[in-house]
Amino acid sequence: MIRIGTRKSELALWQANKVKAALELQGHRCQLVLIESNGDQDLNQPLYAMGIQGIFTKNLDTALLNKKIDLAIHSLKDVPTLLPKGIQIKAVLSRGNPMDVLVYNTSFNAWETDASIGTGSLRRKAQWLRKHPNHKVENLRGNLQKRLEKLNNSEWSGAVFAQAGLERLDLLKINHDVLDWMLPAPSQGIVGIACLETNKALQEVLEKINCTKTAKCAYIERSFLNTLEGGCTAPIGAYAYFKNDKLYFKGGLFSLDGTIAIFHEEVTSSDQSEETGIRAAHEILNKGGKELMHQIKSQL
């Protein structure tokens, strides 16, 4: 029996059940083990102010290390690039849509010059203010349904969500715009599967459900984030994808108010792509990113 650890939200359960179904297709018996995260317990404080790396993953890591579960299922964008000793991301599912969307308030009529939108993400906030400097950005936390409910009980014009989450819970029928100009979080739309490094038998099982192309993109985006020393809450975006034997990559670092943005974009052959994220991060650090990272850390 493979014990699959997951958070309790509807989206987390969707992800865990997707992994469970993939493993059961391989002939394995599985059960879900529900574990609450610190990030789910405190829904008022902004994520960046909570001062904990892996706010949504810490309790699952603990359960894994204490051998209460065999696997931990994560939205990979929530997973710190430096994992606790003994734990590794050993497989990823095929990537969902990586983009962000703006969901409009049900009472939205037209944009006002000082409109407000909701998000708990510094990355989304910075990019929104860069495009709409006169708007206000309000803190929005909670699972998808709670955030949608808060949006529609507010006077905000809209709120920003990951497209993949809304699609997975069949919630994209609501009035929305795809923000194709907004750089997603590294690994957005990717379900990651963690296990203990010592569990070699389980790692062989996971190899059979791993999407290698998605895993390569995740590595490139996460190595970009890690090289910038950016943690999960920093205003950093990255997106890598393969097309016709080429890797396309774009990464960006933003000031908290969106007035500064440093980008790096490149196309490389797929067999030369492994170090793209690290190389791109160094390019950004050399173009003023080092000073900007110091500024961001001093403000958080």
Return the domain boundaries, the chain.
2-93+190-210, 100-179, 236-299
Q: Which of 163, 122, 98 is nearest to 253 (CA)?
A: 122
Q: Is the pTM of this model over 0.85?
A: yes
At residue 55, the pLDDT reads 64
Position 229 confidence tier, pLDDT thresholds 50, 70, 90: confident
Please indicate whether the domains covering 2-93+190-210 and 100-179 agree at the CATH topology level.
yes
Q: Do residues 262 and 284 lie in contact, with contact meaning Cβ atoms separated by under 8 Å?
A: yes
Q: Which of 97, 117, 244 is nearest to 162 (CA)?
A: 97
The model's pLDDT over 156-204, given as tens digits with 9 standing for 90+, comes to 999 999 999 999 999 998 899 999 999 999 999 999 999 999 999 999 9
At residue 58, the pLDDT reads 85
Of 290 and 48, the one with more pLDDT: 290
180 is an active site residue? no
Residue tagged active-site, from 61, 70, 78, 100: 78
Instruction: Confirm or reject CATH 1.10.10.10 for domain 100-179, answering yes or no.
Output: no
Q: What is the mean pLDDT of the chain?
A: 92
Q: CB under 8 Å to 217, separation ≥6 — which residues?
A: 95, 190, 240, 241, 242
Displacement of CA 110 from its chain's centroid (Å): 30
CATH classification (class only), 2-93+190-210: alpha beta
pLDDT above 90: residue 250: yes
Q: What is the mean pLDDT of residues 283-298?
A: 94
Task: Write down the CATH superfamily of domain 236-299.
Answer: Porphobilinogen deaminase, C-terminal domain (3.30.160.40)
> In 139-189, where does DSSP find H-type helix?
144-152, 163-168
Neighbour count for residue 13 (Cβ, 10 Å): 17
Q: What is the mean pLDDT of residues 68-78?
A: 95
The model's pLDDT over 11-55, given as tens digits with 9 standing for 90+, comes to 999 999 999 999 999 999 999 999 976 544 444 544 444 344 556
